[in-house]
Amino acid sequence: MNDTQRRLADVGRRWADDHGDPDKSVRAALAGVRDAVSYLRAVAALCASRLLLPIIADRDDAGGGPDPDRHAEMAAVSLRGADGRLALLAFTGVDAVTAWNRDARPVPGTLDDVAATVAEAGSDVLLIDVAGPSPLEIGPDLLEHLAAGRRLVELSPGEFGWLAVPR
C-alpha cells in the first residue's frame, strides 16, 4: 500500500461513523459571529469539528459530465470573489454541501487539513458554508497557523491562543 492509499484508508476509518450531520454547536457559533471575539470563537469551534471539502468531477467541453473516453478527474472547488481573491470552499454538513451543489462529493477532514489544502489549491481564503446557513471566511492570517497544525483555543473569556497538535 502506497502513502496515498494509506492516507485515504486512514480518512475512511476516522470518519467511518460520520453521516455528514452538522455539529449544532459549530453552527450556533457561526450564526453568532458579531465581532472579533465571536469570530475567533467560531474558528475555535471549527478547530474541534469535522469539515467537508467538496470535490467535483471535471466536466467535458459540452458541460454534460465527465468524458467517458478518459478517467474522471476530481478537483477541490474554489470561487473567485468580487474582490479578486480565490476562496477554497468547505462545509459544516452534507446539508450545506447539497444546498450549494448536489453533484459535489464531500470529503471529510479537520480544519488544519483543509487549511493546508487552501495553499495547495492556490487559494487565498477559506469560505465555510458559502450557501448558508451562516457563511464564514477565514483569512490568510489564521490559515497559516491552522495549516501548520495549530488549533485556536479560548484560554479565558475573550483570550485566545494556539495549541500545537502533533501530526
* Cβ neighbour number for residue 79 with a 10 Å cutoff: 13
pLDDT of residue 62: 47
Domain assignment of residue 81, yes or no:
yes
Domain assignment of residue 122, yes or no:
yes
All three cell numbers of 106, joined, read 464531500
Kindly tell me if the per-residue pLDDT of 108 is higher than 70: yes
Domain assignment of residue 67, yes or no:
no
Query: CA-CA distance, 163 to 89, in Å (whole number)?
Result: 24
CA torsion 116-103-75-52 (nearest 10°) is 10
Kindly tell me if the per-residue pLDDT of 63 is higher than 80: no
- Give the least confident one: 34-38, 72-76, 82-86, 135-139: 72-76
Domain assignment of residue 125, yes or no:
yes
β-strand pairing of 125-128 with 74-76? unpaired
Task: Check if the beta carbon of residue 131 is closer than 8 Å to that of residue 123.
Answer: no
Domains identified in the chain, total number: 1
Domain assignment of residue 65, yes or no:
no
Domain, as residue range, for 129: 3-59+72-164
Query: CA-CA distance, 54 to 50, in Å (whole number)?
Result: 13
Domain assignment of residue 97, yes or no:
yes
Domain assignment of residue 102, yes or no:
yes
Domain assignment of residue 64, yes or no:
no
Q: Identify the band that residue 158 occupies on the pLDDT scale cut at 50, 70 and 90.
A: very high
Query: CA-CA distance, 75 to 11, in Å (whole number)?
Result: 18
pLDDT of residue 61: 47
For residue range 17-61, what is the model confidence (pLDDT) as tens digits? 777 889 999 999 999 999 999 999 999 999 999 999 998 876 554
Q: Identify the band that residue 9 occupies on the pLDDT scale cut at 50, 70 and 90.
A: very low
